[in-house]
Amino acid sequence: MAVLLRTLWSNRTARAGVIIVGLFLLAISVGGALMPYSATDMDFLNLLTPPAWTHPFGTDSFGRDVLTRVLLGGRVSLAISVTGVSLAAIIGIPAGLAAAWYGNPIDQLLMRCADLLFAFPSFVLALFLMVVLGFGVTNVILAIALVYVPIFARLARNLALTVREEAYVQAARLMGQSTARILGREILPNIMAPIMVQASISIAFGVIIEAGLSFLGLGVQPPTPSLGVIMADGREYFNQGPWVLTLAGLFISFGLLGLNLLGDGLRDLTDPKLREKTTS
Amino acid sequence: MAEQSQTLIEVSRLVVSFAQSGGSGMFHAVDDVSLKVARGEVVGLVGESGSGKTTLAKTILRLYKPAAGTLQFEGCDITRLGEKALRPIRRQMQMVFQDPLSSFNPRVRIGDAVALPLRLHKPGPAHQIQSKVQDLLSRVGLGPQFAARYPHEMSGGQLQRVAVARALAVEPRLIVADEAVSKLDVSVRAQILNLLRDVQSATGVALLFITHDLRVARYLCDRIGVMFFGRLVEVGATADVFSNPRHPYTRALLSTLDDDDGGGLAALAPPAPASSGCRYRSRCPIARSDCAAHRPELQAVGDTHTVACPYVLSD
């Protein structure tokens, strides 16, 4: 872990990503507790007050502190995204490994299913699932998972196909290792780096999907704050209080920027052709 | 019956095919090959790259599935066995690969890489496995300090020694060495060849040695099989093949031995091999019109010497 962090630190893009993601995580984990308000405290004497020292992001139409809501909402959004992406990885990676290892017909079957899911733009697919399954947090998680399962499956398959022919995998077969052990201990650790890159970028987009679905009123239901819910609120009275939508949006952008920089940095570090340039 | 028990591997009429890349149809990488390897024997497979020698060897280890023919290991038919049924048989067959670095998982320390086959086959207390690992490493001339290293921290020659140690860990009956020295520096090659020879004579393991380097084959092998585009064209005791080569392809190969770069097969100008009949006829100096009509079978020209050309049987 320490080695990983040190390597990340040596790459400028990754370093920026680590700092931003670190600040973002710090803000949403302890920030909410440090704020003197709670996400649902209403103050009817201070409706839609612009940003000031007492309310750095202003208040919304119920007089709730926007910064508190954004910090707690960020936690909700990120938790939903991480859960959805983890679910996608847990299903997708073994499926991809199995497709690569066993070949046809399993490979064909799994990859055609992945193609089918790929054919839809991810947000349309997520919307479709919400309509079929109904609204709510669990279904947002499932929608995010469904969007990312084919991506993880295909990535794991393609990576495993290249590693599969390596001599050490053949040596493992000759040694009599079980298929599960070969896939889990010989192949998976050696394809993990690109998968981590994909995961960090997927978490960023998962936040966007969650925000989008909640913005449309399909996801997290008010008064629970999530970034999408806050922005949907802010849109209604944008003319009276533009800071609600704008600052919540900037907060999301900040987090996504960090996740994307982290992903790019990780990708640079794991690409051996770029490694020498970036680590020097 | 007595002869039967001496045979370790019997390959008969083996065909291995791959889907042709970019086109339709199948390409026979190994085409109707029959070969026997006796216990404790050192057999060399020589031929230019693309002649199917590696494919043949990997199919014998059942890393590939044969399309036709049969494979017997110690009298047991392994042609169609599944991965699971192969597992107990696989420990009798090990391989030393061409590229020393890629034959080790980059994330596993050398000591663990050698300990793994031990743990899989003869589970025992940790200290016992540790001492067995040290023992194996010292047998291939490496000190115990190497156990803590990662593959990328070692040289090609050292890794190839570890590969031999790892193969020996399961006490196999057969080790396939696939161009095991071709990626090493010339100065290290002889050390690894000597190691293989010492290990072979100490343990009595059979060795299937694949090489494009005729000098290496002559140094190490009891018998030699010459392959040309998926077919075995001549098989015989090393001394016979080198002193009295019969097949025109073998003769062409041996004539390159005197060249400066020594035993390289690259010197041969290659017209495409013929697709029917004798595949060598497009390069063959003694080709006749009926060479295209049928494929020559291996025929005996001596006690142990066979050749797949009907026109060189008497000499």
Residue B130 phi, psi dihedral angles, 5° rounding: -55, -45
B142 in any annotated domain: no
Percent of chain B with pLDDT over 70: 90
B300 in any annotated domain: yes
Picking from A4, A168, A190 by the largest number of B CB atoms within 10 A of its own CB, the best residue to mutate is A168
- The average confidence (pLDDT) of chain B is 84
Q: Could you say which residues from 189 to 228 on chain A have a Cβ atom under 8 Å away from some Cβ of chain B?
A: 189-190
pLDDT on residue B2: 42
pLDDT on residue A148: 92
For residues A91 and B88, the model is more confident at A91
Helix (H, G, I), strand (E, B) or coil at A199: helix
Beta carbon pairs, A and B, within 8 Å: 54
pLDDT on residue B210: 92
Q: How many domains does chain B have?
A: 1
Chain A: nearest CA to B94, how far in angstroms?
Answer: 6
Q: What is the mean pLDDT of residues B224-230?
A: 89
Picking from B55, B86, B105, B208 by the largest number of A CB atoms within 10 A of its own CB, the best residue to mutate is B105
Q: Which of A26-30, A235-239, B4-8, B36-40 has the lowest mean pLDDT?
A: B4-8
Q: What is the CATH number of the domain that holds B53?
A: 3.40.50.300
B115 in any annotated domain: no
Name the band, by pLDDT with cuts 50, 70 and 90, for residue B269. Answer: low
pLDDT on residue A80: 92
Q: Do residues A156 and A96 make contact, with C-beta atoms less than 8 angstroms apart? A: yes
Burial class (CB in 10 A: 0-12, 13-18, 19+), A159: buried
Name the band, by pLDDT with cuts 50, 70 and 90, for residue A121. Answer: confident
B249 in any annotated domain: yes
Tens digits of per-residue pLDDT, B207-217? 999 988 888 88
Q: What is the mean pLDDT of residues A263-279?
A: 63
Q: Do residues B41 and B2 make contact, with C-beta atoms less than 8 angstroms apart? A: no
Q: Is the pLDDT of residue A239 over 60?
A: yes
pLDDT on residue A92: 94
B154 in any annotated domain: no
B244 in any annotated domain: yes
Name the band, by pLDDT with cuts 50, 70 and 90, for residue A277. Answer: very low
B218 in any annotated domain: yes
Out of A176, A186, A190, name the one closest to residue B120 (CB). A176
Structural domain including B11 reads 2-92+170-307
Residues B234, A216: Cα–Cα separation, whole Å: 76
pLDDT on residue B1: 40
Interface contact flag, B102 A179, Cβ < 8 Å? no
Q: Is the pLDDT of residue B268 over 60?
A: no
ipTM: 0.81
Q: Is the pLDDT of residue A48 over 90?
A: no
Burial class (CB in 10 A: 0-12, 13-18, 19+), B75: exposed
Domains, chain A, ordered by start: 57-272 (1.10.3720.10)
pLDDT on residue A149: 92
Which range has the top average pLDDT, A6-15, A195-204, B290-299? A195-204
B282 in any annotated domain: yes
Tens digits of per-residue pLDDT, B241-261? 888 888 888 888 888 776 555
Helix (H, G, I), strand (E, B) or coil at A59: strand
Percent of chain B with pLDDT over 90: 9
